[in-house]
Chains A and B, each alone.
Chain A
């Protein structure tokens, strides 16, 4: 039944391979995983075999001061060529010949000018834990796993904001949790929260640690003992209901594990945020996460059927799993987006779908960004968006091109072919203006092909030309490695970050242009020596608007306080977003980074409503991460 290349019919087993392929090479992690403690509350399980879960000692396999797995990183080898190490990703072990030129050309960086990170954590720089002894005693008595090792505590003291990683690389450690605890089930969490209330310690829930909103930062003004509640050992699928197509899952499970395990039974949630390798189900709920394929499966708020959360007041949950209810304001919406300020999400019932039989990537080149946005708008209007549709601007297109590996069948030269063919043939395509949309279709084969035709027909009306499946696939794969690139930049005086917003359709172009321009100007005004990389893409489409993602990076040589400059520019960019009708956040959340704008974003009364909920649920501020409010 093969029709060649990637347009093949796939079984659920193959699907598993595709997923792990676009994330990792096959699971072959040799690291010693600490297995989770068995919980007393036993549940029936579809498949007891667990692939490598997240170990308690995360720093054994993951970087303590950068993104992702320790074995995977970009570097410039002795020949000055960029390569990506490790064996996990399709890009692993490959040489990226154009990256150096792009890197040096874009940032004015130079491989001679290095800014290496502190190689190892200096344990003595970590402040000694401020323990609440009686709390610790009772916790031990209850049999909850815990640690006060500096490595464990430092690992859970941060998310992945630029300033957090930058400080770690410089070996600067600020306030870190005093204790890490690993509940292994809902009841453990109930116990921990009870004890925390009893002994007045501060709890900060920790899921995947991929926050980019300063949400995991310990408030420096907190004087109580801070306990990081790591949910990673609550990672089981408790049951799958094939009649209603739901799965009941512990909230600590990591995205890729959830998908892999469901795939084994022929199902998926379809929820694939860019962070899905590391982010957790509980984290998705707590931040109102969005997945790449939301057009088919929905965002997290569309996916959850039931949530169980442990709060200082007790456990909050609904009494049934009806698909929709009219029972006052939906209490799920107090939980979703609460960012760890109200309690710990322990278990979630989620919708599941059969693994789609067929999947196809695609890409479209547009003469310019305006045409691309117009096309996406039309696709949204006709409500025929594929599982995913993303539009990169020209700078990002060039960037993607710079990441092309040396030899690989799927990485057939794109621009060269395009230059030869389209550009010369259709003069309208200026390589400095064209932009690219990447597409992912899913479903049964017939419908996918039909759907594909429909989308390409619309694209043609906006001057779009189909540019092949490989480019599409590469675009999505790059999503997972892009976070690793920031670490490479930081080795050479380049710092950067991404941030996002959502905006009505009619403002998309204006917002993109104004924010990009604001970034460039702010950098110049603040003494940044080289023009920054200031680029964006439209990553989601909705009926009434789109989600826009900005990438922003610059060479900080010559600046005495680069992080301060960076933060000022990001602040200005957010002001610009808000002035142009964009939202405070589409899916990253507010955390502490964007708190100052909450009142403006939801009105004084709105903020008061949220505060009164917090006041009732957690009067002693046990969940004291001080996010959001």
Chain B
């Protein structure tokens, strides 16, 4: 018998069940070798890799671009075509069921070792199965760990769903053996920075479109572009987003269904790497031996993992009344699409929407909530106070629509035990754990160690940040605006400032503001009388707590601005920006002028630069 645990989710009733349960009870071999009978879209049979690649190379689109590139570069067209074929060879997936089986077998073993359970929402799988039969499906998971896509393919295999074709980064391919296994598991590889390489773009986009058009497998890609080092959602990238939507724009498919997938981990495998990368310690190159060395990772306990398949979002429904598909009637559809401003805006909106849906469906761990209090108490906090505050925060989070995995009252001490590498309880007091290393340490090293602990902790807070973003931003706006009347204006300014930091759907400022106000009203921190907003005296705590959430970001933005105001930053190179700012911040931390160690996050520092660029405070010129 299968035990199914009902997770009561606030927004909708979805039942999650543990897919490892069955694996622990029956043979992994027979699971890997069982009959696999996926129902594909419109009974499409997968073309052979060769046939698919030929379709791409011989497409009107690629022939056109090849001729254009040849004319521009003066190279003979045959050479350009060969080059394109080379790019395609390097890129193409080679999905083979046998490798999926092999992978299925090994993953069963690995996952059982790593995780206590992998919870998947059952309704989501049923919806996905239905969706795959109706229209081409795009799986859009968030990206927090290398194993994200392995888990997804594993789930798809286990539940007889078409194995997705996955857009992966080139570094993965570099791992000789693993790269090939991934390729045969359906991964195709994309160069990180394509820049203005026209031919590369052409091959990639036609490849993606061809897969969507034929619809033999779902396409999976990370709309955030990269694995988030902060565990916070990243501003979506639009390249692949537009590619997967184009077949719909041009009427080559009736619809494209976008399925947001929210993956959340109690504990992320790469957690120690994350903080190091954010501090500017370069990440180790991804190599097979490196991966094998990471074997010790396998010996640790990573708690639970949640995968929530969201409701498929119909591109057609989103485009209704917003995109005039007739605009493509006058040019052959095989020719490059010159996306109108209207269309780009639409694609951008869709991408942001999907990231928001990923956030909304995310199942959060108690630990994520505990970190809020931990981070707000740099000197440590009493266990009783931590649990008390976390329970209060839990109520708040549920009011704001969060999905929490909160099975019982023991869960908080469990969580703390699971994250022993980040925080520990000693004599009833909980404190962040600093890396131990050989002493004695310099002042800088001490700062780094401290920052490393804080950033690691902050990344778990970031997983839940979206729940509080809007109310916190309203709270901040209301308490810092010159008058309550100016609150909304202030909110809009903050939203623009943090547009690279937090996910806001463009053009939704009004809704966001209302959502934030609603949240605050619900917890009694805000009243509306005669259309005037007023912060109440009774719930000051909530307001203080919420604004404190944003404090590390505010402080980083302030500090970076201050540093940039220094004379030596009249002009500076993008390359040197991070290291110069880091050095300056370290000094300020040592002198005590800056208090939050989060100011050392290179991710936030970069975001400040983008924000200042966007708002015209900094300008960029090529030298």
User: Could you say which residues of chain B place their CB within 8 Å of the CB of A400?
Assistant: none
Q: Closest residue of chain A to B325, judged by CB?
A: A579
Question: What 5 pairs across the A-B complex have the smallest Cβ distances?
Answer: A579-B325, A580-B251, A581-B329, A517-B254, A510-B251
**Interface contact A513-B254, CB-CB below 8 Å:** yes
Q: Beyond A510-B253, A581-B251, A581-B328: 12 further Cβ-contacts under 8 Å?
A: A506-B332, A506-B334, A507-B251, A510-B251, A511-B251, A514-B251, A518-B254, A579-B251, A579-B325, A580-B251, A581-B326, A600-B326
User: Could you say which residues of chain A place their CB within 8 Å of the CB of B334?
Assistant: 506
Contact A507 B254, CB 8 Å, known A579-B325, A579-B326, A580-B325: no
User: Could you say which residues of chain B place their CB within 8 Å of the CB of A600?
Assistant: 326
**Interface contact B326-A507, CB-CB below 8 Å:** no
Q: Is A109 interfacial (CB-CB < 8 Å)? A: no
Q: Is B252 interfacial (CB-CB < 8 Å)? A: yes
User: Could you say which residues of chain B place their CB within 8 Å of the CB of A581?
Assistant: 251, 326, 328-329
User: Could you say which residues of chain B place their CB within 8 Å of the CB of A310?
Assistant: none
Task: Tally inter-chain residue pairs, CB-CB below 8 A.
Answer: 26
Q: Is B333 interfacial (CB-CB < 8 Å)? A: yes
- What is the 8 Å Cβ interface bit string for chain A, positions 516-557, against chain B (1 contact, 0 not)? 011000000000000000000000000000000000000000
User: Could you say which residues of chain B place their CB within 8 Å of the CB of A518?
Assistant: 254
Which applies to chain B's interface (DSSP): helix, strand, loop or mixed? loop
**Interface contact B251-A506, CB-CB below 8 Å:** no
Q: Is A578 interfacial (CB-CB < 8 Å)? A: yes
Contact A507 B325, CB 8 Å, known A514-B254, A579-B251, A580-B251: no
Instruction: List A548-606 residues whose CB lies under 8 Å from chain B.
Output: 578-581, 600
What bracket does the count of chain A residues touching chain B fall in? 10 to 19
User: Could you say which residues of chain A place their CB within 8 Å of the CB of B332?
Assistant: 506
User: Could you say which residues of chain B place their CB within 8 Å of the CB of A511?
Assistant: 251
Which A residues lie at the B interface, using CB under 8 A? 506-507, 510-511, 513-514, 517-518, 578-581, 600
> In the complex, A510→B254 CA distance in Å?
8
**Interface contact B333-A506, CB-CB below 8 Å:** yes
User: Could you say which residues of chain A place their CB within 8 Å of the CB of B325?
Assistant: 579-580
Closest chain-B Cβ to A550's Cβ sits at a distance in Å of 15
Closest chain-B Cβ to A522's Cβ sits at a distance in Å of 12
Closest chain-A Cβ to B312's Cβ sits at a distance in Å of 14
Closest chain-B Cβ to A234's Cβ sits at a distance in Å of 41
> In the complex, A580→B250 CA distance in Å?
7
> In the complex, A459→B332 CA distance in Å?
26
Closest chain-A Cβ to B43's Cβ sits at a distance in Å of 9
Closest chain-B Cβ to A319's Cβ sits at a distance in Å of 38
Query: Can you spell out 10 A-B residue pairs with CB atoms less than 8 angstroms apart?
Result: A506-B332, A507-B251, A507-B333, A510-B251, A514-B254, A518-B254, A579-B325, A581-B328, A581-B329, A600-B326
Instruction: List B308-340 residues whose CB lies under 8 Å from chain A.
Output: 324-326, 328-329, 332-334
User: Could you say which residues of chain A place their CB within 8 Å of the CB of B326?
Assistant: 578-579, 581, 600
Closest chain-B Cβ to A573's Cβ sits at a distance in Å of 13
> In the complex, A517→B332 CA distance in Å?
23
> In the complex, A510→B324 CA distance in Å?
17
Kindly name the residue among A518, A578, A581 whose own CB sees the greatest number of chain B CB atoms within 10 A: A581
> In the complex, A511→B252 CA distance in Å?
8
Q: Closest residue of chain A to B333, judged by CB?
A: A506
Closest chain-B Cβ to A604's Cβ sits at a distance in Å of 15
User: Could you say which residues of chain B place their CB within 8 Å of the CB of A517?
Assistant: 254
Instruction: List B203-257 residues whose CB lies under 8 Å from chain A.
Output: 251-254
Q: Closest residue of chain A to B250, judged by CB?
A: A510
Closest chain-A Cβ to B342's Cβ sits at a distance in Å of 15
Closest chain-A Cβ to B326's Cβ sits at a distance in Å of 5
Closest chain-B Cβ to A218's Cβ sits at a distance in Å of 32
User: Could you say which residues of chain A place their CB within 8 Å of the CB of B324?
Assistant: 579
User: Could you say which residues of chain A place their CB within 8 Å of the CB of B253?
Assistant: 510
Closest chain-A Cβ to B327's Cβ sits at a distance in Å of 9
> In the complex, A431→B324 CA distance in Å?
37
Closest chain-A Cβ to B139's Cβ sits at a distance in Å of 22
Closest chain-B Cβ to A515's Cβ sits at a distance in Å of 9
Kindly name the residue among A513, A518, A580 whose own CB sees the greatest number of chain B CB atoms within 10 A: A580
